[in-house]
Amino acid sequence: LHSITLLYFRVVLHSRKPLPSITLLYFRVVLHSRTPLHSITLLYFRVRKLQSEDEDEKEPKVVAILADPHPAYSLQRETVLQLSLQKLCSHVETALVRRVLITNTLRSIQQELSQQGALTPAWVLESSPKDSFSTALSEIEDLCPTLTVAASSTPFSTSLSVAQPDLQCSSNKNGRLSFPAVEMSEKEAQIHTGSNGPCDSAHLSSSIFLPELSLDDFLFSDIDNFLCDLNPCGPNPGLAQGSSSSKVVSMVTDDLLRSLTNQPFKTDLNELDHIMEVLVGS
């Protein structure tokens, strides 16, 4: 394991009803053609349980384990990355000057990371090294019991590709969500949150895709209209190894997005979208 990369997810749980419901877990993966097979992606979950506004946020933090030649620098870079994403996502009406400066900062970090080959989520490749991935996940398990608890209380633990926000406290009981407008292939990405033990396979749905998007699509256009306009495309031809261009894979459908008209969830959708979009590059 020569180089370990940090892939950062943020799962936001809304607990407004007795059963915490999961909001959209939304991720994209960019495939780089020259992915060295031995680079591993470490999944780093930070679970934030949003409760009512007068309660404090409970934020179990997960420490990412990095085998990194310059841990302090990487840590600062990670911090700046995280801060930048937060700023872009949370303040919708930030002044243009700030948005430009924050975006430029993000871009430079992005460039740095991609130059180091950091964003190479190997587990999406067909020949992903499953053992190391599952090892990584079990490490996460150990560090993050809350995630397990939360996951088991909402039965999405078997396989979760996308979670649907619990708008009326009724839709999430089955765990598996429907994508009415999207073809589901057999390969579904499964992020096991730990309650089921190590995950044996990390497959990514190869059928639901969105056109390649840039960071700036989100920064300078209306996020809601933009997402609603997106339509899932056909199977990703670039999923195979050796593809020369990076493709963006997404698990969100436009119908799903249209249903997310509730204000509180919109913000989180934007948050996650921004986070992932920036993280995996444009």
Partner 1 sequence: MEGDGGSEIKQWCLSQVKGAIDDDVTEADIISAVEFNHSGELLATGDRGGRIVIFQQEQESKTLAHSRGEYNVYSTFQSHEPEFDYLKSLEIEEKINKIRWLPQKNAAHFLLSTNDKTIKLWKISERDKRPEGYNLKEEDGRYKDPTSVTTLRVPVFQPMDLMVEASPRRVYANAHTYHINSISVNSDNETYLSADDLRINLWHLDFTDRSFNIVDIKPTNMEELTEVITASEFHPLQCNTFVYGSSKGSVRLCDMRAAALCDQHSKLFEEPEDPSARSFFSEIISSVSDVKFSHSGRYMMTRDYLTIKIWDLNMESQPVETYQVHEYLRSKLCSLYENDCIFDKFECCWSHDDSEVMTGSYNNFFRMFGRDGQAGVTLEASWESSSPRCPLRPWRVCAGSRRKEDEIGVDCLDFSRKILHTSWHPQDGIIAMATVNNLYIFQEKLN
Where does this chain bind partner 1 (CB under 8 A)? 76-77, 79-80, 83, 87, 93, 95-98, 100-101, 103-105, 108-109, 214, 216-217, 219-220
Contact 155, 149 (CB under 8 A): no
CB nearer to partner 1: give 140 or 219: 219
Q: Which long-range contacts (CB under 8 A, 24 or more apart) does 229-233 make?
A: 229/254, 230/254, 230/257, 232/181, 232/182, 232/183, 232/207, 232/208, 233/209
CB nearer to partner 1: give 193 or 270: 270
Shortest separation between residue 120's beta carbon and partner 1, angstroms: 22
CB nearer to partner 1: give 59 or 200: 59
Shortest separation between residue 60's beta carbon and partner 1, angstroms: 21
The per-residue DSSP string of 87-100 comes to HHHH-TT--HHHHH
Shortest separation between residue 208's beta carbon and partner 1, angstroms: 24
Shortest separation between residue 104's beta carbon and partner 1, angstroms: 6
CB nearer to partner 1: give 28 or 192: 28
Shortest separation between residue 142's beta carbon and partner 1, angstroms: 29
Close Cβ partners of 120 (under 8 Å, ≥ 6 residues apart): 5, 32, 35, 36, 39, 41
What would the two tokens of residue 84 be?
Answer: 């930048």
What would the two tokens of residue 105 be?
Answer: 């900062």
The CA distance from 8 to 10, in Å, is 7
Contact 39, 2 (CB under 8 A): yes
Shortest separation between residue 47's beta carbon and partner 1, angstroms: 21
Close Cβ partners of 140 (under 8 Å, ≥ 6 residues apart): 43, 44, 45, 62, 147, 194
CB nearer to partner 1: give 67 or 220: 220
CB nearer to partner 1: give 63 or 96: 96
92 C-beta neighbours (distance < 10 Å), count? 10
Shortest separation between residue 98's beta carbon and partner 1, angstroms: 5
CB nearer to partner 1: give 225 or 244: 225
